[in-house]
Structure 1
Amino acid sequence: MRVPESLYELNADVAVPSGLPLVAGLTGFADAGGAVAQTAEYLRSELERTVVATFDADELLDYRARRPIILFDGDHIADFRPPRLSLELAQDDLGRSFLLLTGYEPDFQWERFSTAVIGLIERFGVSSTTWVNSIPMPVPHTRPISLTVSGNRSDLVESMSVWRPTTEAPSNAMHLVEYRLAEQGRSVAGFVLLVPHYLSDTEYPATAVAALEAISSATGLIFPTDLLREQGRDFVARIEEQVAENGELAKLVHTLEERHDTYMEGTVLRSPLTDEDGEVPSADEIAAELEKFLAFRRGRDDEPPLQP
Structure 2
Amino acid sequence: MRDARNLYELNPDASVPRGLPLVAGLTGFADAGAAVAQTTEYLRENLATTVVATFDADELLDYRARRPIILFDGDHLTAYRPPRLSLDLVRDEVGQEFLLLTGYEPDFRWEAFATAVLGLIEDLGVASTTWLNSIPMPVPHTRPIGFTVSGNRSELTEAMSIWRPTTQVPSNALHLVEYRLQERGHPTAGFVLLVPHYLADSEYPAAAIAALDAVNAATGLILPTDALREQGREFLARISDQVEENPELAKLVGTLEERHDSYMEGTSLRSPLTDEDGEVPSADEIAAELEKFLAHRRSREDDGPLPG
Measured in 1, the distance between the counterparts of 2:273 and 2:74 equals: 50
- Normalised to the residue count of structure 1, the TM-score between the two structures is 0.90
Q: In the alignment, which residue of structure 2 is the partner of 1:105? A: 105
Q: In the alignment, which residue of structure 2 is the partner of 1:279? A: 278
**SS of structure 2 residue aligned to 1:274:** coil
1:177-188 aligned within 5 A: 177-188=177-188
- What is the RMSD of the two structures over their aligned residues, measured on CA atoms? 1.4
One-letter identity of the residue aligned with 1:155: E
One-letter identity of the residue aligned with 1:179: Y
Q: In the alignment, which residue of structure 2 is the partner of 1:30? A: 30
Measured in 1, the distance between the counterparts of 2:72 and 2:252 equals: 43
The one-character-per-residue Cα deviations of 1:181-218 (angstroms, maximum 9, x if unpaired) are 00111110000000000000000000000000000000
Q: In the alignment, which residue of structure 1 is the partner of 2:67? A: 67
Q: In the alignment, which residue of structure 2 is the partner of 1:253? A: 253
**SS of structure 1 residue aligned to 2:229:** helix
**SS of structure 2 residue aligned to 1:101:** strand
Contact 1:271–1:280 (Cα < 8 Å) also in 2 = no
One-letter identity of the residue aligned with 2:266: G
Measured in 2, the distance between the counterparts of 1:207 and 1:76 equals: 39
1:247 Cα deviation from its structure 2 partner: 2.4
Greater shift after overlay, 243-252 or 30-39? 243-252
1:280 Cα deviation from its structure 2 partner: 8.1
Q: Structure 2 regions of 5+ residues with no counterpart?
A: 284-308
Measured in 2, the distance between the counterparts of 1:32 and 1:52 equals: 28
**SS of structure 2 residue aligned to 1:122:** helix
The one-character-per-residue Cα deviations of 1:204-256 (angstroms, maximum 9, x if unpaired) are 00000000000000000011101000000000011112212322221110000
Measured in 2, the distance between the counterparts of 1:218 and 1:40 equals: 16
1:258 Cα deviation from its structure 2 partner: 0.2
Matched length: 282
Contact 1:270–1:280 (Cα < 8 Å) also in 2 = no
Contact 1:57–1:84 (Cα < 8 Å) also in 2 = yes
**SS of structure 1 residue aligned to 2:130:** strand
- Normalised to the residue count of structure 2, the TM-score between the two structures is 0.90
The one-character-per-residue Cα deviations of 1:241-292 (angstroms, maximum 9, x if unpaired) are 22123222211100000001111111111211113x44389xxxxxxx9xxx
Measured in 1, the distance between the counterparts of 2:247 and 2:136 equals: 22
One-letter identity of the residue aligned with 2:188: V
Measured in 2, the distance between the counterparts of 1:236 and 1:116 equals: 41
One-letter identity of the residue aligned with 1:47: L
Measured in 2, the distance between the counterparts of 1:171 and 1:180 equals: 13
1:115-130 aligned within 5 A: 115-130=115-130
1:95 Cα deviation from its structure 2 partner: 0.3
Q: In the alignment, which residue of structure 1 is the partner of 2:131? A: 131
The one-character-per-residue Cα deviations of 1:76-96 (angstroms, maximum 9, x if unpaired) are 111110110000000011100
Quote the sequence identity (%).
74
Q: In the alignment, which residue of structure 2 is the partner of 1:199? A: 199
Q: In the alignment, which residue of structure 1 is the partner of 2:44? A: 44
Contact 1:145–1:207 (Cα < 8 Å) also in 2 = yes
